[in-house]
């Protein structure tokens, strides 16, 4: 690559796209990388403020920004992702389907620490819709050392930095508890809320039942829903506090399920319980009352991961403390907000 006066550029090959910006009218390249400059191009180039140009000068030790961007994109791209056309050393990735977006944050930081290149992503462990933008990559200079790009490739290995996991679980059970609901003293308004949230992910409720404060009955219902009805995820509503009549945690424990955590550093949702039942590790969740009335809670953070069969660990739940405070905004923009971004 060499720098020359625009008036002397006829016959030279442009190293990068040249963009024209007219506010409210256009922001696009008037000449693309690889364009051979013609005599009639000179006035146009001068009109967009280009009195000097970088033109291509072959160097076997260097890569053009667009060729290097291809390498950077390949480090990120995984199944279920679409890529944009390479432009000015940039490639963007978007979701080809709905799913759970995941980022290998440690390797991402290593790449960004190399200098002269960058990858910016949305937060990992968040639900995305088809067409949503996932990441953008860019090479900073017009050319970059081949050795540097090869070093980044060696550092990252063959596994892409990003994943888009499809939702796999499609059949759910909702087990409501509470004598006040069971006896009809109050209407069950919890089950419809949970069913609606499940429906957002294409999940069908194949079993739902209401029980009093009877832990043995709830334990039996959880097992029945999974073993006889084929439920792939179980949501138990109510009975999650420390009152004497709240026996849902005990009922879940008595199924023999592995308890991941009873309690999470998230508000709303501190009394949340997550467990995995049996050899197939069917997720069983105990949902506190806040899920019924708050716009977004711990349930919204965990549900996409559960439905994508992405195992949640105690350490990960503990990490939700930073960012786990919902600000109850008057207009909810979740997931385009800071809630739950501490995974």
- CATH code (residue 36): 3.90.105.10
Position 175 in a domain: yes
Q: Which of 22, 40, 55 is the last residue of a domain?
A: 55
Q: Kindly list the distances between the CA atom of residue 173 and the CA atoms of 69, 187, 189, 237, in Å, as whole numbers in the listed order.
A: 46, 19, 16, 11
Identify whether residues 78 and 106 lie together within a single domain.
yes
Predicted local confidence at residue 73, as pLDDT: 97
Position 332 in a domain: no
Identify whether residues 312 and 184 lie together within a single domain.
yes
Identify whether residues 304 and 289 lie together within a single domain.
yes
pTM: 0.84
Position 273 in a domain: yes
Identify whether residues 317 and 176 lie together within a single domain.
yes
SS3 at position 75: helix
Identify whether residues 141 and 6 lie together within a single domain.
no
Identify whether residues 102 and 206 lie together within a single domain.
no
Identify whether residues 299 and 198 lie together within a single domain.
yes
pLDDT tens per residue across all 343 residues of the chain: 788 999 998 988 887 788 877 777 667 788 887 788 899 999 999 998 999 988 877 677 888 888 899 999 999 999 999 999 998 889 999 999 999 999 999 999 999 999 999 999 999 999 999 999 999 999 998 889 999 999 999 999 999 999 999 999 999 999 999 878 887 788 989 999 999 999 999 999 999 999 988 999 999 999 999 999 999 999 999 889 776 667 999 999 999 999 999 999 999 999 999 999 999 999 999 999 999 999 999 999 999 999 999 999 999 999 999 999 999 999 999 988 999 998 8
Predicted local confidence at residue 244, as pLDDT: 61
CA distance 286 to 147: 52
Which one, of 117, 154, 149, 150, lies nearest residue 136 by Cα?
117
Q: Which of 55, 71, 92 is the last residue of a domain?
A: 55
Identify any residues that bridge with 301 across adjacent strands, giving them in sequence order.
Answer: none
Identify whether residues 29 and 133 lie together within a single domain.
no
CA distance 15 to 30: 14
Concatenating the DSSP letter of every residue in 284-308 gives EEEEPTHHHHSSS-HHHHHHHHHHT
CA distance 117 to 148: 10
Position 339 in a domain: no
Identify whether residues 93 and 217 lie together within a single domain.
no
Predicted local confidence at residue 65, as pLDDT: 86
Identify any residues that bridge with 22 across adjacent strands, giving them in sequence order.
Answer: 26
Position 331 in a domain: no
Position 330 in a domain: no
Identify whether residues 75 and 108 lie together within a single domain.
yes
Position 336 in a domain: no
- Helix or strand run (H / E) with residue 140: none
Query: In terms of residue numbers, what domain contains 239?
Result: 171-321
CB 211 within 8 A of CB 247: no
Predicted local confidence at residue 290, as pLDDT: 95
Position 298 in a domain: yes
Which one, of 186, 328, 173, lies nearest residue 237 by Cα?
173
Predicted local confidence at residue 245, as pLDDT: 60
Q: Which of 134, 164, 194 is the last residue of a domain?
A: 164
Q: Kindly list the distances between the CA atom of residue 130 and the CA atoms of 81, 94, 98, in Å, as whole numbers in the listed order.
A: 9, 8, 5
Domain with residue 133: its CATH number is 3.90.1170
Identify whether residues 200 and 248 lie together within a single domain.
yes
Per the structure, the count of domains in the chain is 3
Identify whether residues 144 and 205 lie together within a single domain.
no
Predicted local confidence at residue 160, as pLDDT: 98
Predicted local confidence at residue 309, as pLDDT: 98
Domain with residue 185: its CATH number is 3.40.980.10
Predicted local confidence at residue 180, as pLDDT: 81
CB 144 within 8 A of CB 65: yes
């Amino acid at each position: 690559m060499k720098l020359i006066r625009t008036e002397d550029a006829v016959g030279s090959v442009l190293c990068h796209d040249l963009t024209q910006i007219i506010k409210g009218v256009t922001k696009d390249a008037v000449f693309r990388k690889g364009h051979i400059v013609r005599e009639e191009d000179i006035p146009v180039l001068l009109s967009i403020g280009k009195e000097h140009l970088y033109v291509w000068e072959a160097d076997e030790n260097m890569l053009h920004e667009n060729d290097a961007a291809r390498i950077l994109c390949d480090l990120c791209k995984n199944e279920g992702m679409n890529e944009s056309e390479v432009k000015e050393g940039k490639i963007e990735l978007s979701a080809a389907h709905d799913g759970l977006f995941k980022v290998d944050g440690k390797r991402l930081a290593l790449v960004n620490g190399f200098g002269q290149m960058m990858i910016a992503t949305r937060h990992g462990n968040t639900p995305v819709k088809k067409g949503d933008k996932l990441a953008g990559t860019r090479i900073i200079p017009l050319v970059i050392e081949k050795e540097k790009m090869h070093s980044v490739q060696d550092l990252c290995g063959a596994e892409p930095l990003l994943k888009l996991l499809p939702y796999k679980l499609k059949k759910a059970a909702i087990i409501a508890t509470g004598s006040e609901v069971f006896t009809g003293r109050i209407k069950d308004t919890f089950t419809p809320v949970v069913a609606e949230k499940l429906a957002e992910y294409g999940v069908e409720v194949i079993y739902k039942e209401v029980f009093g404060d009877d832990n043995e009955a709830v334990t039996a219902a959880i097992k029945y829903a999974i073993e006889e009805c084929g439920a792939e995820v179980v949501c138990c509503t109510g009975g999650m506090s420390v009152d004497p009549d709240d026996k849902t945690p005990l009922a879940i424990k008595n199924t023999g399920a592995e308890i991941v955590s009873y309690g999470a550093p998230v508000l709303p949702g501190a009394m949340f319980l997550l467990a995995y039942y049996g050899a197939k590790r069917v997720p069983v969740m105990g949902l506190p009352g806040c899920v019924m009335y708050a716009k977004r809670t711990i349930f919204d953070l965990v549900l996409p991961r559960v439905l994508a069969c992405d195992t949640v660990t105690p350490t990960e739940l503990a990490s939700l403390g930073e960012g786990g405070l919902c600000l109850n905004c008057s207009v909810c923009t979740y997931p385009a907000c800071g809630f739950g971004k501490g995974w």
